[in-house]
């Protein structure tokens, strides 16, 4: 057993000695409602941000990636052919 494992065992012992805490049903419902509301706000903010992007921005990125990929592919094929003596 190395020192890390001993430290992990001590930590596990300390954690095991902590008392269990259980929230009541009402508190759990409040926490759940707050969490769902926060997630909904994030989802609404994200969808609004995506919908707010201009149409040209939604088209420009894929077109740019496709163009650069095509240039890369042409260069790879050209180099491969030049290595083969064509």
Q: Is the distance from CB of 31 to CB of 39 less than 8 angstroms?
A: no
Same domain, 60 and 86: yes
Low-confidence ranges of the chain (pLDDT < 50): none
Whether the pTM exceeds 0.75: the reply is no
Tell me which H or E stretch contains 58.
helix 55-83
Residue 9 placed within a domain: no
Q: Is the distance from CB of 34 to CB of 42 less than 8 angstroms?
A: no
Task: Give how many domains the chain has, as a whole number.
Answer: 2
Indicate the average pLDDT of the chain.
85
Same domain, 46 and 71: no
pLDDT, tens digit (0-9, with 9 covering 90-100), for 65-85: 999 999 999 999 999 999 998
The sign one gets for the Cα dihedral 9, 14, 17, 19 is: negative
Residue 61 placed within a domain: yes
pLDDT at 59: 81
Structural domain including 42 reads 21-52
Tell me which H or E stretch contains 55.
helix 55-83
């Amino acid at each position: 057993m190395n020192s890390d494992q001993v430290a992990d065992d001590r930590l596990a012992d300390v954690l095991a000695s902590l008392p269990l805490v259980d929230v009541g049903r009402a508190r759990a419902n409040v926490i759940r409602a707050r969490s769902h509301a926060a997630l909904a706000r994030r989802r609404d903010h994200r969808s609004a941000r995506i919908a707010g992007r201009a149409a040209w921005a939604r088209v420009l990125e894929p077109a740019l990636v496709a163009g650069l990929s095509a240039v890369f592919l042409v260069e790879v094929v050209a180099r491969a052919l030049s290595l083969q003596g064509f």
